[in-house]
Structure 1
Amino acid sequence: MTDSSEHSPAIKKPSAAQKDGPLQTRLYRYICTARIWLFWERYVPVFLLAALIIGLFLIGVFSGLWERIGDPWRGIAFIGALYVLVRAAYAAQKRPLPSISDAKRRVERDSGQRHRPLDVLDDKPAIGAEGWSAHYERAVSQSKSLNSPKLIPTVQPRDPYYLRYALPVMIAGAMIMGSGNNMERLRRSVLPVWQSGINPAEVSFEAWIDPPDYTGRPPIYFKGQDIDSIPEGSEWVARMNGAKTPTRPQLRLGGKSHYLRLTKLGPKSFEARAAIDRSGEAIWRIGSKRQTWPLNVVADSPPNVTLEGVPEADKQDRLVVTYSLEDDYGVTELRLQMAEIQADSVDPFAQSSSITIPLSSGSLPKAVNVETKQDLTRHPLAGKKVIARLVAVDGANQTAFSDETYFRVPDKIFVEPLAKAVIEQRNLVLSAIDTEYAPEPQTLNRAGIIYDTYQPEMRLERAPENIERAALLIEAVTDRPEGLFQDPTVYLGLRNVRARLRYAREASVLAPIPDELWSIALRAEFGILGTALEEMREAEVALREGMARRAPQREIDTLFERYNRAVEAYTEELRRQALEEGNFAEGGNGGGGGLQSTDEIEELLKAIEEANRAGDVEGARRALAQLAEVLENMKIQLSQSQGGGDGEGMQGEMSEEMKENLEELADLLGEQRELQDETEESQRNAEQEGGDGENSALSPGELAARQEQLQDLLTELGKDAEKFGLFEGDNSSDNEAIAGQDGEDDSQTGGGSEQGDEGDGTGRSENAEDALSRAQEAMSGAAGALRNGDLEQAGDAQAEAIQALRQAGQSMAEAALARSGQQNAENGEESDPLGRENGGANSEDSDIDIDNRDNAQRSRELMEELRRRAAEQDRAQEERDYLERLLKRF
């Protein structure tokens, strides 16, 4: 017989189908119990002392004792408990583990059985079966008399006072005391860092809610009361003062709990922060002091946006969009999403483009029937019918869409053939700008091909068909520029675009070309004025966007300065064009009818700057919109002045000699301005180099020579003006009727208040002869200063000359128009459009009682009303033609 127990690591539990199954089950249970008792008897006495010490340490942990007294006592207790535990483990590892055989022997010994009957039940005969049956039956009989083993008392001798029963009760009581913070206390108790004791009486808490920036709400403090509603996405902030090593606060949101990391602010000051998106509570417990903050989070609803009516074009070809929106805390972004209508498109907005609509503030909570105007004439979808919708985004990046609508995007109508040709090429480029180039050829066949340095097979021949066509058409237009291009800027711009189309290797480098072709088309259609207007509008858009997003003050100042320069360039070009064309309304301000608002422009620019400095974004936006309207009216009135049909001005047809004289004065003014720029450049170079300016573009002597040439030209121009009678009648009553305005307008547009005071005492600006004399003196002074090398004094004198030339041009234009009006009256044009005699209207013998005291002012008001009505494009064509005829007659 072999001892199977030595080879069997564990006894197997028999199945119900085995013979003597109940006996086997009972014996299996006895053996397991015996083995457990053996483990207890061998190891519990070894770990008893360690368990007692660790239990006492845990009582100190959960009750908050170590948190209160701190180190070194906590450290000593922890090290002592750890030492006893290690020592007990070392002693336990020297004792063998109880085996199955030991458990069997324990069962047999406790039952008083000998000869190992349990081993016989698991054994098999080694040689023969004779006598085995009797031996097995005897073992079965002995096994039936076995009893469950008994535990030998091993703890009682070592714990006669039953502390083993009191210790668990004490631990449970300590855990109840530290309920909710037991794991944090346990974590802190085993940290290998110095921990100071905490006196809860010295601890104070402070907490508040930081709402998201987009809500615009200030911090909300917990001051003895709960906060009813907390915006979703807010940040909970809590600070603790009075403890060097505090516990961490606990945040419970949506049934989940976690501890927050602390940030040290001072020796006894700490802060915790957490983003909250669900309701819950925050708990911070230090010793016996416990602070709880309920967190009632209110969800942020998505915005709501509505498109009010179908967008349509206004008189200036701008798209007018009217919308209403609403959001809890404000919409931060509003876009107009457009896509060209496709017949077979499943998602109409799969290939769409978006236009950002500026909002009145960075976050707009509500708007009702707000109208915005967008210039989309240069957009790729201009002139096409589109499907569109509004897209609103709030501060939490929640998006809402309006209902879809259909409309045609307004486009700009070009009349000049060259401008129309440029726009056609722009459309070709736009249609193919997103199309990739063909792959580069691997081998080149040069047989019979003239070598070309720009390698067309690597560039233009790989381009999309429309790119090739645009390049060839631009080449054809610019091949013979004689007689076609009046403006070299247009020609050079087209040649530059043509070269870039030829040399491009991929579509990405063509991205800036559509915008450049648009600028070229505007220049071809409107000349320099069109370019100035485009730059002014771009500067205005940039300034609006900067104010809407509340850009830094430094950036706003830069944008405002850029816009100011653009406005100045635009109005200056209007004035120059009016001088060249001889178109003057009865404001006498040296330009078209809109130029009589120069003082208003200055006031609005000043209002924008002051509102911006004061932080009044809405006021700055209103002033900016008003200024844009004033500038647009200036452009409209100038175009009406030029649209006389027969070349007649507002007061009659100006003679060709007078026009040429005024054009020469305008050219002289431009040359004087260029000379002033060169003088300033020479002054800057001299200051940088510390010398006398000899290394600049022009020396002071050369600048003086040019100044003297301009002075000679001015002398000749003055003689011609006197010959044409432009110095006559400057102070006549007729001229006063044309140019008479209040002193405020003249001081702004006529050279300043000083000149106005030098006149006849009526607030009018000085006459042309005096202004030319003043310009002569200023030029002479500038030439002398340049000869002496005093560039700063020369610049001041040149500025005075420019101002005097402007005043002279204004006065000469008024005189020319007055003479033209008198000539028309002498030629028999003495009846008004209703057939009444103009001369009789003011006759002393007239039977009609008309107040003549404010006749000039009344005339100006009538003319302004006629112009306003003639500018309204929604009036019938017959009515507008009649109004234009009235304007010509007046």
Structure 2
Amino acid sequence: MAKDKQRDGALLRKLRLTHMGMWAERIARSFWPAWTAAILGLAVWSADAVPPLWSVTLLGLLALATVILLVVGLRGFRRPTAQDARDRLDATLPERPLATLDDDQAIGAGDAASAAVWAAHQRRMADRLSAARAVSPDLRVSRRDPYALRYVALLLAAVGLTFGTVLRVPEVPTVAGPAAALATGPTWEGWLEPPRYTGLPTLALSELDPGVVEVPEGTRVTLRLYGEVGALAVTETVSGRDITEPSAPIQDFTVVQSGTLSIDGGAEAPLWTLTATPDSAPEIALDGEPGFEHPDLVTLPWRAGDDYGVVSAEVTIALNPDASDRAHGLAAAPEPREPLTLDMALPISGDRSEVIEIFRGELTKHPFAGMPVTTTLRASDAAEQTGETVQDIILPGRAFYDRVAAALIEQRRDLFWSLDNQTRVTQILRAITWKADEVFNNPSAFLVTRMALRRLEADTLTPETRDEVAEMLWEAAIRLEENSLDSALERLRQAQERLSEAIRQGASPEEIARLTEEMRQAMDEYTRQLAQQQPQQGQQSQQQAQNGESQEITPDMLDQMMERIEELMRQGRTAEAQELLQQLQEMMENLQVTQGQPGQGGEGQQGQGQQAMEGLRDQLREQQGLSDDAFRELQEQFNPDAQAGESSENQGRSGGQGSGQQHTDQGGQSDQPQGQQGEGQDQAQNQGQGGAQQGENGGAEALARRQEALRQQLGDLRNNLPGAGTESGQAARDALGRAERAMREAERDLAEGNLGGALDDQAQAMDALRDGMQELGRALAEEQQGERGENRGQASSQEGDGFRRDPLGRQSGEGAQLGTDESLLGDGPDAARRARDLMDEIRRRSGERERPEVELDYLRRLLDRF
């Protein structure tokens, strides 16, 4: 019995503790916002950092918040009962013994055996009560207070009690500033705010001594008068306004003229004399002679200045027909043309009060190129003032040294001058193309000229047709000019003359560096033209090589000579630099191209290898042209108004003629045999026109068919590829297999209209084709070396090893090996310079927002990649 009482007493204590824990838990959950606000009020009260007026306001708000939160907590509070405590404790025990002890037997109460079982069950449940433990309350309110505001309040209260005091009495604050002066009399505040574009600071008028103050025109004057209205009055003569209320509390006006400013009525009446400095209009003018930068940039040096900086500049170019020689094609009345207005770039950062820049524009294809024009340069400042200069100049154009190219450009100029010149231009073009073999050194240029002639003879000339014909004439002239060795030599001579003149005149190091770079480019172009003329000069060069008359110059020799010239200029030894430059000029003019004799052994195998190599080159050119056509098709989807092939930068060697019925290599030599060119020119022209129409109008389906045919040709070529059984030969077959798979993917994308995916696949196919050509070249070179054996060195010196070298001593790829093992950009400082030029050109094009979005996306991916 005593044991049962002891057990009941322990159970009651556990129930009371559980009940008290439930009270604490529900109080914490219902009233934590109220006591958080109260503790925050204690923190504000005890903190000395809060101004008294602010603390009184905050204490009032916190007290009101505490009361409101307390009422809300009381409404949501539910008092825990003894049964709630009993149920919580019972829930922590297995089989809920407390609930079992409260239950009565429902079935078998009259049966003694059943009653005994029930009694035994209750005793077992009563024994389990000894394991009961009081339930701890859950005082966490983190779910209700995710930002831990209660801890923030406790922290602030601890800081306030530590560094402040709860016994302080709020004091009436002392207000600083103008309000402090209200007790003794009226006061004022004022500021002088110059225009923002001047970059001058704002001045407090109260800190300026009375007297003369120099301010820019447009300075904003702001005045605030405190105290009784009428106690202070403003008198000024700088704004030119009619002062009707001199005692207005707030006055705001702008300085437009020099005058005085005073504030009357106070203890003192200060007087300032404001001197208004006018904002001068900007000035702009040409700063030298217009020039031309190869290949297609017109340069206009200009200078502009403004007292506070130039914000924009532009040039307007208008044709000046009165200044032209009105003869031949210019005798007719010129057609009116809208002036060309172009923005001129300003420095991105730095001082713009004095700007010295060079405007560069791609104007060589414009109808105004090479013609007398009137240039109007305009500059604007931040005050929207404009200064301009009008000057008559000859707009520079690209120089064409090839006589046929120059004639085509002249006829292009006459067409732009007046549509009435159609008959005259047609007659001259017919005369130029009469004996094509004697006049044209580039078959593709002849075909393009013939196409232009037929367009002129077809119907009445319209502005749209005129622009198409002019584009054809330009393309033909460019092909003739770039295939002319004389033109390259003339450009080299001019570059050398400019550099020599700059050395004599003592030009700046920057100018010397620019002209040196221009001469490097001219030398590269000249040596490239020499290499392209190699097949025509092969026999002569071979004989000279046997007689020991030719001289081979390496790139290192040319670079060393150019670096030596620059070093002599830096040291001030101009005479020696002039002499070395003259030696370099003579060396370049006497430069010859050497070519070895073909090897005697393995002629059948080498012939088969060369045929395979030529086939791969044709495949690569065809794929390049097809990719260009797909790119133009994609451009037309985003810009339907643009004409296909409008940009010469987007034309491949085969893409420019549609389906690529006739191809030319870089040297301008046609794939068609020389003996058949004269007979098949009209036929090739018709094929080129048909191919162009197919490329422009066939759409994605026509491109897919062309891709399929190209893939089948590559499959046949791959099956007959020489070099079987060698590592390089197998690598070449694997590379062509990758190209074939990429072409199949491109074919599928074109059929589905996915031009963007097709372009990526075609790029992979062209990369794989190049890899295959390199591996095939290695395989053929290995076979040739094996056939020559130990006597390869002697045969190479006496008979030639099948390789051709350009004037710089590099393998030109005409032998068994394709291309050169040298780096594309070379080595040393010149490689870094070329890499920088390449990246600058990519960045420049990516900044031209008028380009199609697909091209801009491609340029951005290039920048991200590199």
* Pair in the same fold by TM > 0.5: no
Larger radius of gyration: 1
Task: With the length of structure 2 as denominator, give the TM-score of the two structures.
Answer: 0.37
TM, length-normalised to structure 1 = 0.36
